[in-house]
Amino acid sequence: MTTIVSESTQPERTNLLGLSREGMEAFFLSIGEKKFRAAQLMKWIHHEGCDDFSAMTNLSKALRERLEEVAEIRGPGVVYEGTSSDGTRKWVLEVEDGSYVETVLIPAENGKRRTLCVSSQVGCSLDCSFCSTGKQGFQRNLTAAEIIGQVWVAQRSSGPQKDTANRAVTNVVMMGMGEPLMNYDNVLPAMKLMLDDNGYGLSKRRVTLSTSGVVPMIDKLGDDIDVSLAISLHAATDELRTELVPINRKYNIRALLDACHRYLAKCGDARLITIEYTLIKDINDQQEHAEQLAALLEELPSKINLIPFNPFPHSGYEKPSRNQTMRFQQWLYDLGLNATIRSTRGDDIDAACGQLVGRVKDRTKRNARYIQSIQLDAD
């Protein structure tokens, strides 16, 4: 009789990519090694972009062999990589179950910043009425390795992060697919790695979490980590906000603003909350809306980011004209508020931030056509 050893009887190797410093230290203690190994490993993984234990020459051969047996460094597979005419780069990544996740690196016009837009979930359960991710429904949470893996892939694509001046990624915004505060346990270690000197060493002002307003988790975030916070407000009355952002029914605008104040009180410095406001034609782009918004934000240290609605098929909404967008900005300005308009970058590779489309892989022609279509878009 032959014995069949199924894959599931093999002990699973720990993927070190998603471990924060605490996680990495706990891992080394668990295999009978000293804690200081954590920093060494993190530098290899995140500074050097290395996924091969045998190349880690400052570790003993015995330890490298041990790591080979019990651990791995497994990043997402790159299915597609493209650069648009304005320099925006996009990756389509394949994660564990064959789902696709997109991540984009958007250069600032002055060349000083390169902002990576990172996804936290495949799909999203919150179903905001103007969001294509929400319309796809929720597939699953990304693991910490899959979240930081997006930064790892982008950083690695331009070689080791030897000196900080030449970093591929200078800023991260959690504004890709998904609601980061609905996947807190994986988002937190990933964001810790973004800040850690042995990880990506980004300052707290350069790492931004965007949320549609999961109030209890905003409080938890403020207890656990210090990063910049962006709130997807989109409306200044509860009636309209509930229509656009259904989670407003559970945590209304007042509750959300109170949470913002509590968050600011925990920050170690004077900080502004970013208020994201997607402008949708005839829905929230009129003068009265600007007046309501100004009244609401009077007491909150904040800056407004206006995002012209990015249309997608069957959304039922339209993009406001450029003139109307600028008028809205002017109304706010006249009311004493500064607002920036988010420029649409990477249009030719369908890579606007907040507009990433992940798709669940099916091994059929439809899938092949999808890959082909994004390649054509980028040419």
List residues binding ligand SAH (CB under 6 A).
Answer: 130-132, 175, 179, 210-212, 232, 276, 278, 307, 309-310, 354-355
Part of the chain binding ligand SF4 (CB under 6 A), chosen from 10-18, 95-103, 123-131, 300-308: 123-131
DSSP assigned state of 239:
H
Q: DSSP for 122-153, please give it.
A: EE-SS--TT-HHHHH-EEEEPPHHHHHHHHHH
Applying CB under 6 A, which of residues 88, 133, 228, 274 lies at the interface with ligand SF4?
133
- 50 catalytic residue (yes or no): no
Part of the chain binding ligand SF4 (CB under 6 A), chosen from 10-18, 59-67, 121-129, 344-352: 121-129
Find out whether 72 is annotated in a ligand binding site: no
What is the C-alpha separation between 352 and 281, in angstroms, rounded? 19
Q: Which is nearer to ligand SAH, 41 or 190 (CB)?
A: 190
Q: DSSP for 149-169, please give it.
A: HHHHHHHHTT----SGGG-S-
Find out whether 81 is annotated in a ligand binding site: no
Q: Which is nearer to ligand SAH, 14 or 212 (CB)?
A: 212
Catalytic position from the list 25, 117, 243, 353? 353
Q: How far is the CB of 154 from ligand SAH (least distance, A)?
A: 18
Find out whether 54 is annotated in a ligand binding site: no
Among residues 195, 297, 180, the alpha carbon closest in space to that of 229 is found at 180
Among residues 291, 373, 286, the alpha carbon closest in space to that of 336 is found at 291
Say which residues have a Cβ less than 8 Å from residue 22's Cβ, sequence separation at least 6.
192
- How far the first Cα of the chain sits from its last, in Å, is 57
Residue 199 CA, distance from chain mean position: 16
CB of 131 within 8 A of CB of 177? no
Part of the chain binding ligand SF4 (CB under 6 A), chosen from 104-112, 131-139, 324-332, 359-367: 131-139
Share in percent of the chain as helix, strand, coil (round to 5)? 40, 20, 40
Instruction: Collapse the DSSP code of 211 into the 3-class scheme (helix H, G, I; strand E, B; otherwise coil) and give the result.
Output: strand
Find out whether 279 is annotated in a ligand binding site: no
CB of 308 within 8 A of CB of 298? no
Find out whether 203 is annotated in a ligand binding site: no
Find out whether 310 is annotated in a ligand binding site: yes
Q: Which is nearer to ligand SF4, 102 or 179 (CB)?
A: 179
- 117 catalytic residue (yes or no): no
Write down the residue that tokens 């549609």 correspond to. 212
Q: Which is nearer to ligand SF4, 178 or 189 (CB)?
A: 178
CB of 200 within 8 A of CB of 150? no
- Where b means 16+ CB within 10 Å and e means fewer, 95-124 reads beeebbbbbbbbbeeeeeebbbbbbbbbbb
Instruction: Give me 135's structure tokens.
Output: 């319309």
Q: How far is the CB of 183 from ligand SF4 (least distance, A)?
A: 11
Catalytic position from the list 25, 102, 146, 276? 102
- Where b means 16+ CB within 10 Å and e means fewer, 42-65 reads bbbbbbebbbebeebeebeeebee
Question: x-or-dash pattern for ligand SF4, window 207-226, by CB under 6 A?
Answer: -----x--------------
Q: Which is nearer to ligand SF4, 197 or 238 (CB)?
A: 238
Applying CB under 6 A, which of residues 45, 104, 131, 142 lies at the interface with ligand SF4?
131
Q: How far is the CB of 342 from ligand SF4 (least distance, A)?
A: 14
For strands 14-15 and 71-72, give the pairing. Answer: parallel
Q: Which residue has its beta carbon closest to ligand SF4?
A: 134
Count of residues that bind ligand SF4 according to CB under 6 A: 11
Applying CB under 6 A, which of residues 19, 45, 106, 128 lies at the interface with ligand SF4?
128
Q: Which is nearer to ligand SAH, 40 or 136 (CB)?
A: 136
Interaction residues for ligand SF4, span 317-356 (CB under 6 A): none
* Site for ligand SF4 contains 179 (CB under 6 A): yes
Helix (H) or strand (E) holding 324: helix 322-334
Q: Which is nearer to ligand SAH, 67 or 169 (CB)?
A: 169
Applying CB under 6 A, which of residues 48, 94, 96, 127 lies at the interface with ligand SF4?
127
Q: Which residues fall in the annotated binding site?
A: 124, 128, 131, 178-179, 210, 232-234, 310
Which residues are known catalytic residues?
102, 353
Q: Which residues fall in the annotated binding site for [4Fe-4S] cluster?
A: 124, 128, 131
Binding site residues, ligand SF4, CB under 6 A: 124, 126-128, 131, 133-134, 178-179, 212, 232
